[in-house]
Amino acid sequence: MAEPRATRPESLGQAAKAKLRSRSGESLAEVMVAILVAAIALVMLAAMISSAVSITLKSESTLNDYYEQVRTVAAQDTVSDTGSVTVTAEGSFEIPVNYYESDGIGAKKVISYARQEVTMP
C-alpha cells in the first residue's frame, strides 16, 4: 500500500502560514547558512564602501591639483610662448595669442592662451 502524499499548499501565502503554524523549527545547518550569507553580504558591503571612499579621495586630490595649476596659469603674467589660432568660417583668419603654461601635474601640463593685445598702426 502506498504512503499518503503530503498535500502542497495552493499559494505562497498559504505556505508561509503553514510554516508559521508549524511547531518544528529551523535546523542548525539552515541557521548557520543564513548567518554565513549575512556575514558575506556585510563583508562585501564594507569592501564597496572602502573602495568608494578611496576612489573619492583620489579623485578629489587630483582635481584639487588641477585647480591649483589652473590658478597658477591664470595668475601668471609672463608669456611662455606666442602663436596663433586659425578660425575657419566663411574664409579663415588667424588670431594671435599668448600661451601660458604651468609646471604640470605629474607629467601633465596645464596650458592656457589669451588673445594678444594688438595695437593698430
Domain residue ranges in the chain: 25-115
CA distance 2 to 22: 25
Interval 32-91: pLDDT, tens: 999 999 999 999 999 999 999 999 999 998 888 878 877 776 676 666 666 666 777 677
**Cα→Cα distances 85→41, 96, 101, 114, 119, Å:** 57, 7, 16, 10, 18
Q: Which carries the bigger pLDDT value, residue 28 or residue 83?
A: 28
- Residue 9, sorted as left (phi over 0), alpha (psi -120 to 50) or beta, turns out to be beta
CA 45/CA 64 separation, integer angstroms: 29
